[in-house]
Amino acid sequence: MRRVIIVAGASAMLAGCGPSDPLADHRAEIEGLEVSDEAVVLLSRREEIMRASSELFVTNCAACHNAAGTGLTGPNLTDDAYLDIETPVDLYWVITDGRHAKGMPAWDRSLDDAERLALAAYAAALRGSDGRGGKKPEGEVIPEWETFLSESAPRRR
């Protein structure tokens, strides 16, 4: 009986019944964006995309950054200080290329461009969230994300 369950489970996964794509409803929109500071900031404001991205974050990033982004072995993402980040798009490049000397793996082979861009936006959205009990700030305080938007970009009120 046990073998039947295992085989049935494996067959279901092979048939496309495995984990769903959390970005499925937003993938075309994200894939149509140029990787840029503005794209990271604007995506970080899209609540529905951030809800979908939170699943990616918990699955891939929470082991080091905590589900709330307050840091474990990885840095706290809820404060204003950043390691190797000077602009919002740097979040994308750190996710893509990693920082091996600091323990951050490169995700370019595990996650596609849209997933990495969504995660960069999610990390940007964590800034200023409730980081109580998190790791102390590491790195340098950088300008608010607003400063990286063009004059025509919609602003937060």
Domain ranges for the chain: 22-148
With beta carbons less than 8 A apart as the criterion, state whether 78 and 69 touch. Answer: yes
Query: Is the model's pLDDT at 155 over the cut of 70?
Result: no
Q: Looking at residues 2-10, what average pLDDT do you find?
A: 39
pLDDT digits (tens, 9 = 90+) for 40-65: 999 999 999 999 999 999 999 999 99
CATH for 22-148 is 1.10.760.10
- What would you report as the CA-atom Rg of the chain, rounded to the nearest whole angstrom? 17
> Is 70 exceeded by the pLDDT of residue 91?
yes
pTM score, two decimals?
0.84
Of the chain, the percentage scoring pLDDT greater than 90 comes to 79
User: Taking Cα atoms as reference points, which of 100, 95, 152 lies closest to residue 124?
Assistant: 95
Amino acid (1-letter code) at residue 5: I
Q: What is the pLDDT of residue 153?
A: 67
